[in-house]
Amino acid sequence: MPRTVGFIGLGIMGFSMARRLIEAGHKVAVYNRTASKAEPLVALGARPAATPRAAAEGNEIVISIVTDSPDVEEVLLGKDGAVHSAAKGALFIDMSTIAPETARRAGQALAAKGIAFLDAPVTGGDVGAREGTLSILVGGGRTDLERARELFDVLGKRITHCGPQGAGQTVKACNQILCALNMMGICEALHLARLSGIAPALVVEALTPGAGGSWALDKLGSRIARGDFAPGFMVDLIQKDLRIVQDAAKRLGLSLEGTTLAQQYFGENQQSGEGRLGTQAMFKVLERAIGKK
């Protein structure tokens, strides 16, 4: 059954996710800070919205996927936020990657207005967003998850209820640790191969099915092998996510040495003007370090 959806945020992930919902037959209103990004979706039948408030108006479900915790608070609860036009009983789903405590605060603020809330960050990169194979990590009530399932099934292949509000973001923080440390392993392995006279593409093909294989080796290792550093997920964004990870770990008294090293590498990308490249650009940091020896 077609649902009425307000969709806020049309970045690398959000654009493809909104397009999938439109192509699945749902009635979607789209908002993006840079309005021109919405034009291809409007051509597919979406309704353009000038503000988050306008995107929420008349819609039973509102999805947001924006950059950081303050952005989520602004588009949902700010002066022109979606909360101001949403009907009582609406369901808001934030699919950004933000701090767990921000998700909990948003959920409490929305509950006071009679609006349900799920934090539902995703993993699977730009490929998963285009193909509808994302993993969706859901925090909030099971009943609200079931209300959203029809839409989630369009966007993702695996939907996991992680616990109460904020739990989805906690599991996403765990994911970002794995992404960062996995990227370090991939970059070190491909440099070892390269310096030994073995083509990185061969290593990716040979090892992806084995015990050392991973989604990142398959998708991002192959990009490294062909010199493709375009972003599926940007260095700047994983650095934001790893700050969230470290804040959560600090509250628990947990030291994350591997994550700290990954942050240093990604920081060197940023210092070299590579913050808007894909996370596989960590390869360049190690390449420069090797060249100095």
Give which of 133, 89, 128, 93 is closest to 111, Cα–Cα.
89
Q: Which of 37, 79, 172, 292 is catalytic?
A: 172
User: Is 293 an annotated catalytic residue?
Assistant: no
Q: How confident is the model at residue 2 (pLDDT cuts 50, 70, 90)?
A: confident
Taking only the tens place, the pLDDT of each residue in 183-241 is 999 999 999 999 999 999 999 999 999 999 999 999 999 999 999 999 989 999 999 99
Coil, strand, or helix at residue 120? Answer: coil
User: Is 142 exposed, middle or buried, given 0-12, 13-18 or 19+ CB atoms closer than 10 A?
Assistant: exposed
Q: What is the CATH number of domain 4-163?
A: 3.40.50.720
Nearest to 64 by CA among 82, 79, 84, 78: 82
Q: What pLDDT is stored for residue 1 in this prediction? A: 77
CB 1 within 8 A of CB 113: no
- Segment 79-118, tens digit of pLDDT: 999 999 999 999 999 999 999 999 999 999 999 999 999 9
Q: What is the rounded average pLDDT for all residues in the chain?
A: 96
Which residues, other chains included, contact 293 with Cβ-Cβ below 8 Å and sequence gap of 6+?
none
* Residue extents of the structural domains in the chain: 4-163, 170-291
Model pTM score: 0.93
Q: Which homologous superfamily does the CATH classification assign to the domain defined by 170-291?
A: N-(1-d-carboxylethyl)-l-norvaline Dehydrogenase; domain 2 (1.10.1040.10)
